[in-house]
Amino acid sequence: MPARIDQAWTRASPYGTQSEPTFSGTLSFLRRRYSKDLTGVDVAVFGVPFDLATTNRPGARFGPRAMREASASLAWCQPYAWPFDPLDRLHVIDYGDLLIDAGKPDTIPAQIESQVAPMLAAGVLPLALGGDHFVSLPLLRALAKHHGALSLVHFDAHSDTWAEAEFRIDHGSMFYHAAREGVVAPQRSIQLGMRTHHAETHGYEVWHSPMLHERGIAEAIAAIHQRVGNSPCYVSVDIDFLDPAYAPGTGTPVCGGFNTHQALSLIRGLAGLNVVGMDVVEVAPAYDHAMITALAGASIAQELLAVVASTRPDR
């Protein structure tokens, strides 16, 4: 029998992977300790339950909860494709969810940014579970205050760079604003998987879906590393990068995407990058089947932790 249950509260050490019954217990992300104490923490995983910026089907506010639940089936052992357990190298906590006051929508970007600021002040790397994709913008704003303009590695079916005459809270334009505001440097950023027509790149390197399918994973990984180099980078994964066959539970699904194996292979290829922040967004469990979208999101988030750990020494 497992030595412990409810490890979100009872674990003796913040490090390591221990088993507990998958079907029960407190559902923190990967059974990590729930805590607001940032002392000695390397990565804070937190939910951003916001979906008022969506342009199609709402429901991504429930994405963090769904990914936590799905992560229970991943928490009993290390991710198989890595020669180390990222949770041996990283002190990871589940910080809970950010507080979103939906009755004051115009203040939500500032609400998000202000709640992330203490993490960054403590030197903690943020891993956000969305929420719709707009949540990336306030996170980028907060990170840019510490690191300057960031490189962006963006996996998505949509470029999210639609130009606007004035700022709007919209999940289709936030990377346009990020570039204009100078929180992202498009000349060292890359977007992959796009399969909705948009002629304007705004300076980003764009690998549309047919190009990525044709050239393949290895060439895409090489292009990412060449584009980003050692600059501080932010990794943003919209779950609709996956084809709807592999991720039906999302607000704006687009056919012609990628399978889960391809997505995980691409994420693993980011090892060695100077990642300073990351998110997995647009999981909308109301449209999911058998939690396959939530499990994909949780798996990608676990792999992102391994990417961060790839630059850290063994303890």
3-state helix, strand, coil in the chain (%, to 5): 35, 15, 45
Distant-in-sequence, close-in-space partners of 76: CB < 8 Å, separation ≥ 6: 17, 18, 19, 20, 22
240 marked as part of a ligand binding site: yes
Whole-number Å distance between alpha carbons of 308 and 315: 14
Distant-in-sequence, close-in-space partners of 290: CB < 8 Å, separation ≥ 6: none
DSSP states of 10-42: H-S-SSS-----TTSS---GGGPPB-S--TT-S
171 marked as part of a ligand binding site: no
202 marked as part of a ligand binding site: no
Whole-number Å distance between alpha carbons of 277 and 201: 23
208 marked as part of a ligand binding site: no
Identify whether the C-beta of residue 60 lies closer than 8 Å to the C-beta of residue 136. Answer: no
158 marked as part of a ligand binding site: yes
Length of the chain: 315
Nearest to 240 by CA among 177, 305, 193: 193
85 marked as part of a ligand binding site: no
The count of other CB atoms within 10 Å of the CB of residue 313 is 6
Binding site residue list for Mn(2+) = 133, 156, 158, 160, 238, 240
Binding site residue list = 133, 156, 158, 160, 238, 240
